[in-house]
Structure formats: structure tokens, C-alpha cells
Amino acid sequence: MNKQKSLAQQIIDCAIEMSDSGLSPGRSGNVSARFGEGFLITPSGLAYGDLSIDDIVYIDEQGVPAGAKPEPSSEWRFHHDIYQTYKGAGGIVHCHSRHATALACCNTEIPAFHYMVAVAGGRKIPIAPYALFGTQQLSDYVVKALNGYRASLLEHHGLVAHRASVRDALDLAHEVEELAAQYVLVRSLGGDKVLDDAQMEDVIERFKTYGKRASP
Ligand SMILES: [Zn+2]
């Protein structure tokens, strides 16, 4: 199997896992991986379980889909712009997972209520302002929100996560959803204490020495 086909299979595997784990209700969400100068992304409107590697769409660095394949996900623009802006991004997962979306619908970013928030790259998990799905405006907001972060909520929409690989991006999306669920519980219990900047800087430093991430 050549590299493109192998990457397409990884995208399908991650999309099915994303769906089966409940991260993306219905046919919401999309998964992509950097490939060459562009990227490979799940198509629009097809059930993940029905996908074959030939259904995965290649989009070049100009944002042009190749060949007569299915239409790419309607959110291909922010995938494209994330890859163009953040060179460390090798894979992206976007989903409408329950708790992250609930917070996003309250326009609530996730503060440093727990040190693991640093898994997204900083002292919080930010939120991008609302814009209509599939638009350049949404993409612009997402790229701006991700400055310094590997994950962000999308107001009235869901979440997006990027890492070096599509598998790592899916793991990060799971972690963000779990943190969102914990934060919803903390808020429901009346908790509002957060770690201060110095405490979070210590965590971020420690994470660097743990390599990819720490789970102590
Ligand atoms: Zn979406």
C-alpha cells in the first residue's frame, strides 16, 4: 500500500473510531491528515463505515480538490488553513462532542480548572467566535483561536484538535471532550477555582520534558 492509501486508511480508521466513541453524533465531524503540500480529508455526506480509501479527498495547497472524487467535508477550509498556518499540524480532528459543544454553546472557554488543560498547549482551551459552518470567516476565527494552542472550542458548534498525526489528534479530541465533561461537572458543583499562570507554566514546562504528553 502506498503512503497516500495508507494515510487514507488511517483517516477512515480514526473517523470510524471517532463516530463509534460518540464524539461525533450522526455524520458530524471530519478527519484529515497532511499529505505532500496539501492534505487528505473525509468526504461530505458519507457514513464513515461505508468509506473506502478512494473516497478520501486530496486537497492541494491552493485549496483545490483533486480528481472526480466525492465532495470534501464542508469544513475543508479550516483544515486547509490550519495546515498552511501551523506547520507542526500533521492531523486534524473536528467533532461535535457533547460536553465540548455544550460549553461552546455557552461561549465558555475551558480555563485551567485542571492541570491537564495544558495538553492543548497552553493555560486554557480557547474558543473561536461563531461563524457559519464551511465559511472562510469560520476558518479565520479558528486559525486565530489556535494561536499557541493545539485545540479550540468553536462557539455554537464543537471542537477542533490538531497534532503531529491524525491518531494523536483523535486522542487530543478525546482528552478535550473529557476535560469539558469534567469542567461541566465542576461548574455544576459550584467550583470556580483555577490554577494561576505560574502553576500552569510549571505544568507546561513539565510536559515538555515528558515528551509528547504527560499523564501522571
Ligand atoms: Zn462541525
Residue 110 belongs to a domain with what CATH number? 3.40.225.10
pLDDT attached to residue 202: 94
The rounded Å distance from CA 82 to ligand 1 centre is 15
Instruction: Please return the burial class of 77, using the count of CB atoms within 10 Å of its CB with bins 0-12, 13-18 and 19+.
Output: buried
Is residue 37 situated within a structural domain? yes
pLDDT attached to residue 211: 58
pLDDT attached to residue 214: 46
Is residue 214 situated within a structural domain? no
- Residue 18 sits at φ, ψ, to 5 deg, of -60, -45
Q: Quote the domain boundaries for residue 157.
A: 3-209
User: Cα–Cα distances in Å, from 78 out to 114, 154, 172?
Assistant: 28, 12, 18
- Tens digit of pLDDT at every position of the chain (216 positions): 699 999 999 999 999 999 999 998 777 899 999 999 999 999 998 888 889 999 999 999 998 888 767 889 999 999 999 999 999 999 999 999 999 999 999 999 999 999 999 999 999 999 999 999 999 999 999 999 999 999 999 999 999 999 999 999 999 999 999 999 999 999 999 999 999 999 999 999 998 887 555 454
The rounded Å distance from CA 194 to ligand 1 centre is 29
Q: Among 17, 75, 155, 205, which one carries the catalytic annotation?
A: 75
Is residue 216 situated within a structural domain? no
Is residue 75 situated within a structural domain? yes
The rounded Å distance from CA 94 to ligand 1 centre is 6
The rounded Å distance from CA 1 to ligand 1 centre is 31
pLDDT attached to residue 204: 93
List the one residue out of 128, 139, 129, 164 whose CA is nearest residue 33: 164
- Residue 132 sits at φ, ψ, to 5 deg, of -55, 140
pLDDT attached to residue 26: 74
pLDDT attached to residue 145: 98
Strand, coil or helix: what is 25? coil
The rounded Å distance from CA 101 to ligand 1 centre is 10
Is residue 215 situated within a structural domain? no
Known catalytic residue at 75: yes
* Structural domain total, the chain: 1
pLDDT attached to residue 68: 65
Give dist(CA 103, CA 184) in Å, integer: 8
